[in-house]
Structure 1
């Protein structure tokens, strides 16, 4: 009984700070070519949405790029719509990077030089392990 009261009180506080949102509200960002535009778009944003969804080149870019890369590219030709989509997507990327930096700083707290670890953690490059291993000579046992 006491746990139920405590849980409902926590739930009320949580909803005050994090109001429930309809996940379909962001379908236009996840797949603009099959979603309907949100009702709160301005006239100019709605025109850009129509232009994006009718552009066959943008459809090809959407299929071949990541979601963030697609909207970054869309921002060049459709700035209002691109900025709106990126403003919604940006917090996820920045919170992820902050978590990486925080874990590195905690792990290497006694060191002042975390530049190399940070560079590896946030890099988009994929290492070529076969090439690195081929450049090293194996140690043989005597």
Structure 2
């Protein structure tokens, strides 16, 4: 099982804490006050409309820690599972029959990095790259 069980109302709260159909009475009592404060905070609503769910809930962590912990606990498995699956997929592409090496660390690091390589700048500086990177 990839993802933990969670209540339907918690999922609704994470997807849209400003929804009028959200039943606050099903949320745990110690979180209800924070959620009501969040629902009535117009700057938070503006941020919710501008940013992704992950960024929104992370930015709410200082002001609304109990609500944001529930939200982040619900959102975290999706992103980490994606990163893990993409890592395995990259590994399988690198380590195939025609390219069977014991150490794939440098190639994996290059393939999974979010930093764009500056190949032209490296070429201008006459930096030699390993031939297996290409």
Tell me if TM exceeds 0.5.
yes
Structure 1 residues 105, 39: CA separation in 2 closer, same or farther (over 3 Å shift)?
Answer: farther
Q: Is 1:33 matched with 2:27?
A: no
In structure 1, the partner of 2:124 is none
CA distance in 2, matches of 1:25, 1:81: 10
* Match among 89, 106, 111 for residue 103 of structure 1: 89
In structure 1, the partner of 2:45 is 59
**What CA deviation, in whole Å up to 9, does each residue of 1:71-123 have, x standing for no partner?**
1111121111101111011111110000111111111123342211110xxx3
Query: Aligned Cα RMSD in Å?
Result: 3.0
Give SS of 1:75's match.
Answer: coil
**How high is the TM-score relative to the length of structure 1?**
0.64
Instruction: Using CA pairs under 8 Å that are at least 6 residues apart, name the structure with larger relative contact order, 1 or 2.
Output: 2
Q: Is 1:42 matched with 2:36?
A: no
Q: Which has the larger radius of gyration?
A: 1
Structure 1 residues 104, 38: CA separation in 2 closer, same or farther (over 3 Å shift)?
Answer: farther
Contact 2:31 2:66 (C-alpha < 8 Å) held by counterparts: yes
Q: Is 1:86 matched with 2:77?
A: no
Q: Which one has the bigger helix percentage?
A: 1
- Structure 1: gaps of 5 or more residues: 1-13, 134-142
- Structure 2: gaps of 5 or more residues: 96-100, 121-134
**How high is the TM-score relative to the length of structure 2?**
0.67
Runs of 4+ with deviation above 6 angstroms: none
CA distance in 1, matches of 2:31, 2:54: 18
| Count of residues in Structure 1 that have an aligned counterpart in Structure 2 | 108
Structure 1 residues 26, 38: CA separation in 2 closer, same or farther (over 3 Å shift)?
Answer: farther
Contact 2:57 2:71 (C-alpha < 8 Å) held by counterparts: yes
